């Protein structure tokens, strides 16, 4: 990344990555920070080189040949059709432009569950959540099939440990999604079993216990570059 780059941060959240990008591209560059809820980005949006966009990544048009870098972190894996978003991201890359996606795969939790040596709350609450995270494991191959080059997939497995920053994140997240995952009819309609409320309580207690630790996710840090010459056919091939 260099001064003058045009960047997009998909799922900007509170703006930490967008702010970091804006500092590095300088006044000659630009950062487009996209999120469905941009209420935490008001101050960042006052910067001359930052544009805050409120929108749904599942449907919004990202433009054509307009970005040198597109980044997302733990966003695309939660969308209904992330492959459609990837198609639009690749179309939006300038020649030589780079994508960098950080997305999670639930394989470690599932593998640990098969071994059977897990606390019951983790097995009942966190493993079903992680089981839905399968998309990231095929992301590098998809980018390569679309004609991107220099494709790299750096995979690092993470533990979920009590009384850690990750545990604090999941305490907040479980509080947010609890009404959904414990709603029997709603979960049945989604093709997934509901989680018992007492299991959620027990998992929240584990997340406060520094003695608790379990394999949870594999973090895929996938990077790739559009060819410097020619273009990309989003149906699956590079054009020269």
Residue-wise pLDDT for 138-173, tens only, equals 999 999 999 999 999 999 999 999 999 999 999 999
Full domain range(s) for residue 160: 56-229
37 lies in some domain? no
Q: Can you give the pLDDT at residue 237?
A: 40
pTM of the model: 0.88
Is 55's pLDDT higher than 50?
yes
19 lies in some domain? no
| β 67-73/93-105 pair status | parallel
| β 50-54/30-35 pair status | parallel
197-206 and 165-181 helices cross at what angle (nearest 10)? 180
Closest CA to 217 of 120, 137, 140, 114: 137
186 lies in some domain? yes
Number of domains in the chain: 1
Binning pLDDT at 50, 70 and 90, where does residue 232 land? Answer: low
61 lies in some domain? yes
Could you tell me which residues come within 8 angstroms of residue 240 by beta carbon, excluding any fewer than 6 positions away?
227, 229, 230
Could you tell me which residues come within 8 angstroms of residue 182 by beta carbon, excluding any fewer than 6 positions away?
194, 195, 196, 197, 200
Q: How many CB atoms lie within 10 A of CB 88?
A: 18
Instruction: CATH number of the domain at 158, please.
Output: 3.40.50
Q: Can you give the pLDDT at residue 49?
A: 97
């Amino acid at each position: 990344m260099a001064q003058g780059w045009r960047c997009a941060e998909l799922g900007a959240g509170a703006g930490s990555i967008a702010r970091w990008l804006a500092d590095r591209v300088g006044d000659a560059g630009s950062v487009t920070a996209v999120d469905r809820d941009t209420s935490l980005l008001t101050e960042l949006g006052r910067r001359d080189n930052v544009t805050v966009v409120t929108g749904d990544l599942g449907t919004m048009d990202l433009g054509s040949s307009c970005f040198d870098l597109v980044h997302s972190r733990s966003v695309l894996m939660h969308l209904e059709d992330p492959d459609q978003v990837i198609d639009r991201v690749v179309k939006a890359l300038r020649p030589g432009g780079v994508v960098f996606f950080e997305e999670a795969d639930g394989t470690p939790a599932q593998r640990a569950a098969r071994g059977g040596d897990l606390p019951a709350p983790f097995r009942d609450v966190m493993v079903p959540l992680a089981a839905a995270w399968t998309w990231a494991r095929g992301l590098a191959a998809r980018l390569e099939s679309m004609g991107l080059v220099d494709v790299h997939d750096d995979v690092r497995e993470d533990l979920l440990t009590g009384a850690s920053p990750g545990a604090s994140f999941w305490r907040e997240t479980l509080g947010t999604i609890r009404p959904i995952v414990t709603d029997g009819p709603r979960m049945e309609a989604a093709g997934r079993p509901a989680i018992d409320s007492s299991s959620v309580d027990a998992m929240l207690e584990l997340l406060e216990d520094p003695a608790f630790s379990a394999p949870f996710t594999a973090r895929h840090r996938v990077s790739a570059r559009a060819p410097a010459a020619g273009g990309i056919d989003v149906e699956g091939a590079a054009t020269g």
